[in-house]
Structure 1
Amino acid sequence: MVSILLFSAASLSASEVIELQGNIEDNNMKVFEALNKFAEGSVKFSKNTKGFKYHYTNPWYSRYSFNVYLGEFAKRENVSIMRIETSKAGMEKAFRNYFKEELMKRDATGIGTVTDPSRAQEKGEMLERKSHLISQGLNLVSPVFSVLYNSRKSPVYLSGDAFLRSSFYFLADLIVGGLAYYFVMNNNHKKSMWDNLFLKEGPSGNVFEARYSGIFIAALAIPRLYRVTGALEDTTSHNRLFELSYSFRY
């Protein structure tokens, strides 16, 4: 029977690493079943194993995003190593904890329970379901608000993830939108000497009424369109953890 030898999370190229005791084929079957359960069947095998024996990832149409690698140690028998990669450190940690709990459940030795002392003192808080409508609605106002909503009390995000993504979208709006605003207003119609002489009304100064207003609107749309898939993935992953009765530990 397969039991968990060590669940030590280490940083390896922005990934989570787990060591498993047992035959790699048995471990592979259990890892695939656990991953398939989480991703609701949205899992595919990839030949790009990066030196590992197995690599599982998400199809392009999936609402989830992950890369899970499983391999063997060259000088250690019956020990497998699993590497988890996602777009956020928080989601990698959530995956690590999810796999830990799932593989414990699948350990059918019937003798005692595998425990992890590092988590004994952690406090648990049950998750609350998040709304796709709210996340996408906030994204229309500002992608930053969508990130803050999805990161609040969610294992999908660590504080560093939330800060980096909020900063990215804030700067995207500031720089891309600012440059577009400058271009549009700088190329807007201007009052001529004759217009001033005959007291003709000039441009309103409203960027949305300017000649190239479409450029400014497109510039604002770019980060929001980019965030649409991120908001979908964040909300779906969080709600999936909620459905699996995952406890948010902090």
Structure 2
Amino acid sequence: MNFILKGFKSFIVYFSFLLLFSTAGFSSLFAGETVEVLGGPEDVNLRLVALLNKLDPDFYAHEKTQGFVYRYRNRWKNPYDFDIYVGKVGKTSPDSIIRIESPRRGQERMWKEIIEQELLQKPPHESAVPLSEKYHAISQGLNLITPMASVGYNSWNSPLFSNRDTFVSMGIYLLCDLILAGGAYMYAQDKLPKKNIWDNMLNTKGPGNVWESPNAVGVFAALAVSRAVRAFDAWEDTAAHNKTAQFGWSFKF
């Protein structure tokens, strides 16, 4: 038992380090996307706001513009996750720059491609393809099996995810299941009654396994935590993908 426990702890530490390195390393390399647009910030801002309203009107203008002229962020009901800035390219330049930031690298690239196709009338890459609809029932059903399967379904051929986004999302849910459910299982196992020497001599039946104990419910409760969180994320991922798909834009994967 001690050997298994030590191995489990070592795996958790190693996997956590790998996940942290992947997240921190790539985040430092890829910090947002930018698009240069002809026209002043006021004109570009009007066109950008129209585009944001077209996709989902649940966003707001943020007063802290970080040196830019305008800044917009999504509200919690908006399935997208963005922080978009509009400013001048330079003091003497008449043109504007749009900067897109998001916790997901995939969304940053997606917004860049949408802005290029809509505001710059730039044709999509020759290898770009239109999006197919995704279904809430499939994503939520896979989530009941494992949140990682739901992430895999939503990330497949979706501009909302990069490979890193998929790996990190899957890794976080796996880590949550391992820590919460694994911890609950070991706690339940530790609480099982132990056979004493007389029980062994008389060949008395043991206390059973974890799944027959009263503490087994803790394991299922622990598994429900990650699935409850993913249920909301899965709704957002599916809704955002389908909102994007309905306009016929093409994306390179």
TM-score under structure 2 normalisation? 0.80
CA contact (8 A) 2:88 2:95 kept: yes
What amino acid is the match of 1:151?
A: S
- 2:213 and 2:33 map into 1 onto residues whose CA distance is 50
Instruction: Determine the structure 2 residue equivalent to 1:72.
Output: 88
Distance of 1:143 and 1:182 partners within structure 2: 22
Superposition deviation, residue 198 in structure 1? 6.7
The 8 Å contact of residues 116 and 122 in structure 2, kept in 1 or not, is answered as: no
SS of equivalent to 1:211: coil
Counterpart in the other structure of 1:123: 127
**Counterpart in the other structure of 2:32:** 15
- The question of 1:226 aligning with 2:229 is answered yes
CA RMSD in angstroms, aligned pairs only = 2.3
Tell me the equivalent position of 1:37: 54
Percent identity (aligned) = 38
Mapped partners of 1:48, 1:194: distance in 2: 73
Equivalent position amino acid for 1:244 in 2: F
Structure 1 segment 141-160 matched on structure 2, within 5 A: 141-160=145-164
Where does the alignment leave 5 or more consecutive residues of structure 2 unmatched? 1-27
Q: Would you tell me which structure has more helix in proportion to its own residues?
A: 2
CA contact (8 A) 1:189 1:211 kept: no
Report which stretch shifted further, 14-23 or 186-195: 186-195
- Which amino acid in 2 is paired with 1:102? E
Alpha-carbon spacing, 1:50–1:225, altered in 2? closer, same or farther (3 Å): farther
Q: CA deviation at 1:244?
A: 0.8
Q: Shift of residue 46 of structure 1? A: 1.6
Whether the aligned pair in 2 keeps the contact of 1:88 and 1:156 (CA below 8 Å) is: yes
**Residue 220 (structure 1) shift:** 1.3
Q: Give the superposition deviation at 1:141.
A: 0.9
Q: 1:101 aligns with which of 114, 117, 121?
A: 117
Aligned residues: 226
Q: Structure 1 208/85 Cα, relative in aligned 2: closer, same or farther at 3 Å?
A: farther
> 1: CA distance between counterparts of 2:49 and 2:184?
47
Asked whether the 8 Å contact 1:126–1:246 carries over to 2, the reply is yes
- CA deviations on 1:79-99 (whole Å, 9 max, x unpaired) are 222111223111211111111
Deviations 1:145-198 (A, max 9, x none): 011111111111122221222222222222332222111211123345565577
Aligned to 2:239: 236
- Residues 30/167 of structure 1: CA separation in 2 closer, same or farther (3 Å cut): same
* Alignment TM-score, normalising by the size of structure 1: 0.80
2-structure distance, mates of 1:127, 1:21: 28
Match of 1:179 in 2: 183
3-state DSSP of counterpart to 1:245: coil
CA shift in 2, pair 1:209/1:47, >3 Å:
farther
CA contact (8 A) 1:15 1:92 kept: yes
- 1:12 deviation in Å? 7.6
1:170 aligns with 2:187: no
Report if aligned partners of 1:65, 1:233 keep a CA contact under 8 Å in 2.
Answer: no
